[in-house]
Amino acid sequence: MTTDKRILITGAAGYIGHQLGNRLAKDFFVIGTDIRPRQDLDFPLEIVDVRDPDLSRHLSDNRITHVVHLASILQASSDRQRDHDIDVNGTRNVLEACIAAGVRHITVTSSGAAYGYHPDNPEWIDENDPLRGNPEFAYSDHKRLVEEMLATYRTEHPELQQLIFRPGTVLGAETRNQITGLFLAPRLLAIRGSDSPFVFIWDQDVLAAMEQGIRDDRAGRFNMAGDGALTIGDIAKKLNKPLVTLPATVVRAGLQVAKWLGKPVGPEQVNFLRYRPVLSNRRLKEEFGYRLQKTSEETFDHFIAHARQKGDL
């Protein structure tokens, strides 16, 4: 075990967090924090909320040099204020704790959602394109707010290096989330006039790029996506499922009815289906120097193969 880096991971019991921690623990001192326990870890896990004002003590006591901040709300709850408190105020608390404890480097997972779901998005979004988010989507809005905060801290606290990743749709053999639920449904939905392209990134590419950034003490902001994109029509063909194409007005009305029935959807999600940000990975490959192991299509094929093995498809 090397001693030059001592790493703390927030959200370490999560899908990416536990895998990253187990990888890094082979060579570094690693400790995790989360609000729920997990047993299959090769590193110690402390039950600590990212909003805990005593977080800096955990960093100081463990002589942490590098923080990986993964803790966030992936699926919005009915309590927008609580979600904001965890995502935005929690990140502020992590940053303040890092500065107080003299942490040298922080890696933050943002999202391609920070760019927002807008009809005038560029065909391929570059890291220098504006982060506009969408106020109606808690996840997208909070990622934008967090990135604005990070920009302020880069100016005011240059001693804390920042490495920020903006992933597209992450898929792997075991991925299960709101988006994979769309793919596992009996039929796929498309909005008339929109190809709704997806860029996918293999979960193992996410982990390997993050590990490379931590090992090399890299800083900067990088999109995460495999080469190429798949339209919703491409996805339907690969899944051998019917594609239902409807006008936006019909879909919006249907989502409103579903919301009245208590389902976790709403008419604002029409834009999520229509105007997905399509991330360019040029800087990840050319400037960061990461060699992608799978394209978007190969990542999706990998997900399909494992879903079929488990009987999900």
Amino acid 272: pLDDT: 85
Q: Alpha-carbon torsion 203, 205, 210, 214, what sign?
A: positive
Winning range, highest mean pLDDT, from 239-248, 269-278, 284-293: 284-293
Determine the average pLDDT of the residues in 97-120: 97
Please give the structure tokens belonging to residue 265.
């959807």
Q: Cα(311)–Cα(313) distance, rounded to whole angstroms?
A: 5
pLDDT at 265 over 80: no
pLDDT at 93 over 80: yes
pLDDT (tens digit, 9 = 90+) per residue, 219-255?
A: 999 999 999 999 999 999 999 999 999 999 998 898 8
Determine the average pLDDT of the residues in 161-184: 93
Average pLDDT, the chain: 94
Determine the average pLDDT of the residues in 118-124: 95
Please give the structure tokens belonging to residue 113.
């959602």
What 3-state class would DSSP assign to 288?
helix
Amino acid 187: pLDDT: 93
Amino acid 196: pLDDT: 82
Instruction: Tell me the whole-structure pTM to 2 decimals.
Output: 0.94
Determine the average pLDDT of the residues in 130-141: 94
More confident residue, 54 or 79: 54
Determine the average pLDDT of the residues in 61-78: 91
DSSP-derived secondary structure for 71-131: ---SS--S-HHHHHIIIIIHHHHHHHHHHHHT--EEEEE--GGGG---TT--SSB-TTS--
Q: What distance, in Å, lies between the first and last C-alpha atoms of the chain?
A: 42
Least confident of 92-101, 112-121, 180-189: 180-189
Q: Do residues 300 and 230 touch, judged by C-beta distance below 8 A?
A: yes
pLDDT at 95 over 70: yes
